[in-house]
């Protein structure tokens, strides 16, 4: 007979560890099975904390300061000389940020009396979990009334560019370079490719991004994507669209990339190559075949609106289920499932999931894009306000970008908000709150915003929906 719990969570990423904590808060005896090992030590937090969101943001922040010291301080009357890059120290700081947060989650688990099992967790029949040790053949069986599957995701490999951990790396490897590559190639100009490319461009690399799609950032609003493309290109990011990589050859001098575009076959040599073409759910070896757990053709676990699988008492959350692979989405699903298990009315509003790309300027949005509304045949109105007209943005020297509000043409309910600019990763939360409360653009327009702040751009964009933005010239009459 295995050890018994009320809830067992497989995975300790942002979905799994949050689910475990919320379950414990609700009085449920909770266990969490996780296999992330770094330097022979078990580390909670999953990909996001250990090799994704957190370390990448630490490097983005450090690289931003380095670039600012080189190029922007003089504009503010601050003269500096002899600015040098200490990449080892930058990486050490990144590692410390991660380690501190690892310890924080461990402390949270301890304070909530969550039992942790280190190893590979696999779902068996009758709500049993097999835990396989990572350093031996030992196995242990656990039992629970409720199981939460939160296995996370892994980078997608492509045959044309096999990862070797040295000259060709995935997103994790790109966070661990010991030298700044002179020429860096990135396959994929999506969220991960742009963020990693931005880090190394700021630190001195010549960066070439090869994107197979014909359009740039189709997941974002088209107007925002077009402006972002212009700004990133000005920064020196060489973004090549409609470029499909067909072969890569590792040489002593670097990596030779062969790709095809409308002009034919092309070749480019780089020192390092990052493969950032997306991620796939970690559902391989997650369950035994006799459980009957249903997956779709992409290996994603089939769930209902409250993340119930087809198996009674078994839930799946985070990157393993439908929807965007975002840490905060997984965390909210973890909270919802914990509350459902405890008999409460858990809920996630999938219509108001914010998305952020941590480039400079940042890109953020929540809700529908114009293209999506057009596909739905829904009538809408638009309000746009540029940061160039913002006093706070001018004072900070961060005038690129805009805020865009989309509202229903009849009800005026906000349907989507899209931002490009400095600190919009923070500003988008206000738009998310507005949408959560079914606010109209007039509601935002009637709300008083502090002056001078960047958030005033949201206020003005909402007023622009009705053509009454204050700090923007009235368009000429036709």
State which of 277, 293, 317 marks the end of a domain.
Answer: 277
Using CA atoms in the order 159, 164, 168, 172, what is the torsion angle rounded to 10 degrees? Answer: 100
Of 88, 126, 99, 112, residue with least CA distance to 30: 112
Q: What is the dihedral of CA 68, 73, 75, 77, to 10 degrees?
A: 170
Asked if omega into 226 is within 30° of 0 (cis), the reply is no
Q: Is residue 323 part of a domain?
A: yes
Instruction: Answer with the one of 317, 348, 379 that is the final residue of a domain.
Output: 348
pLDDT digits (tens, 9 = 90+) for 330-356: 999 999 999 999 999 999 999 999 999
Per the residue annotation, which of 64, 302, 328, 451 is the catalytic one? 451
Report yes or no on 237 lying in a domain: yes
Inter-residue contact 366 to 416 (CB < 8 Å): yes
Q: What is the pLDDT of residue 474?
A: 76
Give the mean model confidence (pLDDT) for residues 79-98.
96
Q: Which residues, 6 or more positions from 50, have their beta carbon under 8 angstroms from its beta carbon? A: 36, 38, 43, 98, 102
Widest pairwise Cα distance in the chain: 80
**Confidence label for 473 from pLDDT (cuts 50, 70 and 90):** confident
Residue 302's domain is classified under what CATH number?
Answer: 3.50.50.60
Considering the domain architecture, whether residues 187 and 203 belong to the same structural domain is answered as yes
Find the domain containing 175 and state its range.
168-277
Model confidence at 68: pLDDT above 90? yes
Q: What is the CATH number of the domain that holds 363?
A: 3.30.390.30
Residue 235 lies in a domain: yes
In a domain, 472, yes or no: no
Write b or e for each residue in 17-40: b if 16 or more Cβ atoms lie within 10 A of its Cβ, otherwise e: bbbbbbbbebebbbbbbbbbeeee
In a domain, 121, yes or no: yes
At residue 64, what are phi and psi to the nearest 5 degrees? -65, -45
Same-domain check for residues 402 and 456:
yes
451 is catalytic: yes
Mean pLDDT throughout 448-475?
Answer: 95
Residue 469 lies in a domain: no
> Of 277, 292, 309, which residue constitutes the final position of a domain?
277
Q: Are residues 322 and 263 part of one domain?
A: no
Average pLDDT rounded to a whole number, residues 452-457: 98
Let me know if residue 161 belongs to a domain.
Answer: no
* Structure confidence at residue 38 (pLDDT): 84
The model's pTM = 0.95
pLDDT computed for residue 40 by the predictor: 82
Tell me: do 343 and 406 sit in the same domain.
no
Is the pLDDT at 234 greater than 60? The verdict is yes
Say yes or no: 175 and 146 in one domain. no
Is 416 found in the same domain as 327? no
Would you say residue 212 lies in a domain?
A: yes
Q: How confident is the model at residue 39 (pLDDT cuts 50, 70, 90)?
A: confident
Same domain, 308 and 364: no
- 28 and 147 inside one domain: yes
> Residue 370: what pLDDT?
97
DSSP state of 295: B
Element (H, E) at 143: strand 139-149
What was the pLDDT predicted at 292?
Answer: 96
Tokens of 3: 């050890």
Q: 258-317, pLDDT tens digit by residue?
A: 999 999 999 999 999 999 999 999 999 999 999 999 999 999 999 999 999 999 999 999
pLDDT attached to residue 476: 64
Mean pLDDT (the chain) is: 96
Helix, strand counts (H, E) of the chain: 12, 24
Shared-domain flag, residues 10 and 139: yes
Residue 477 has pLDDT above 80, yes or no: no
Average pLDDT over residues 93-117: 97
- The count of domains in the chain is 3
User: Same structural domain for residues 113 and 19?
Assistant: yes
Statement: residue 478 has pLDDT above 70: no
477 CB contacts (<8 Å, ≥6 apart)?
Answer: none
If asked whether residues 73 and 177 sit together in one domain, one would say no
Q: Are residues 303 and 411 in the same domain?
A: no
Is 137's pLDDT higher than 90?
Answer: no
- Token couple for 462: 């909402």
By three-state DSSP, how is residue 411 classified? coil
């Amino acid at each position: 007979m295995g050890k018994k719990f009320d809830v067992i969570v497989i995975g300790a990423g942002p979905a799994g560890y949050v689910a475990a904590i919320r379950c414990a808060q609700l009085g449920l005896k909770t266990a969490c099975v996780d296999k992330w090992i770094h330097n022979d030590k078990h580390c909670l937090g999953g990909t996001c904390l250990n090799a994704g969101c957190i370390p990448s943001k630490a490097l983005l922040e450090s690289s931003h300061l380095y670039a600012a010291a080189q190029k922007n301080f003089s504009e503010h009357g601050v003269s500096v000389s002899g600015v040098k890059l200490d990449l080892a120290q930058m990486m050490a700081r990144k590692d410390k940020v991660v380690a501190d947060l690892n310890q924080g989650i461990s402390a949270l688990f301890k304070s909530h009396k969550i039992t942790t099992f280190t190893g590979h967790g696999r779902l068996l029949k009758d709500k049993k979990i097999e835990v396989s040790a990572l350093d031996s053949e030992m196995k242990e069986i656990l039992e629970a009334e409720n199981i939460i599957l939160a296995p996370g995701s892994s980078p997608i490999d492509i045959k044309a560019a096999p990862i070797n951990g040295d000259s060709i790396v995935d997103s994790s490897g790109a966070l661990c370079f010991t030298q700044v590559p002179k020429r860096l190639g990135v396959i994929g100009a999506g969220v991960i490719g742009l963020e990693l490319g931005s880090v190394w461009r700021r630190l001195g690399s010549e960066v070439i991004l090869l994107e197979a799609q014909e359009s740039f950032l189709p997941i974002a609003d088209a107007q925002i994507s077009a402006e972002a493309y212009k700004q990133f290109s000005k920064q020196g990011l060489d973004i090549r669209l409609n470029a499909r990589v067909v072969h890569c050859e590792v040489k002593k001098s670097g990596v030779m990339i062969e790709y095809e575009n409308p002009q034919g076959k092309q070749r480019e040599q780089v020192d390092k190559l990052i493969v950032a073409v997306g991620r796939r759910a970690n559902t391989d070896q997650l369950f035994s075949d006799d459980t009957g757990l249903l997956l779709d053709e992409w290996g994603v676990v089939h769930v209902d609106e409250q993340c119930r699988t087809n198996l009674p008492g078994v839930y799946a959350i985070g990157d393993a289920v439908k929807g965007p692979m975002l840490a905060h989405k997984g965390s909210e699903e973890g909270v919802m499932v914990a509350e459902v298990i405890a008999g409460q009315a858990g809920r996630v509003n999938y219509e108001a999931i914010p998305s952020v790309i941590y480039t400079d300027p940042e890109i953020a949005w929540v809700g529908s894009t114009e293209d999506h509304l057009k596909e739905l045949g829904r009538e809408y109105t638009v309000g746009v306000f540029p940061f160039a007209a913002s006093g706070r943005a001018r004072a900070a020297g961060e005038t690129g970008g805009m805020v865009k509000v989309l509202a229903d043409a009849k009800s005026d309910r906000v349907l989507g908000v899209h931002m490009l600019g400095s600190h919009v990763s923070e500003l988008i939360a206000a738009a998310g709150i507005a949408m959560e409360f079914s606010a109209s653009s007039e509601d935002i327009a009637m709300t008083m915003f502090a002056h001078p702040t960047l958030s005033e751009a949201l206020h003005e964009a909402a007023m622009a929906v009705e053509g009454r933005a204050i700090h923007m010239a009235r368009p000429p009459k036709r």
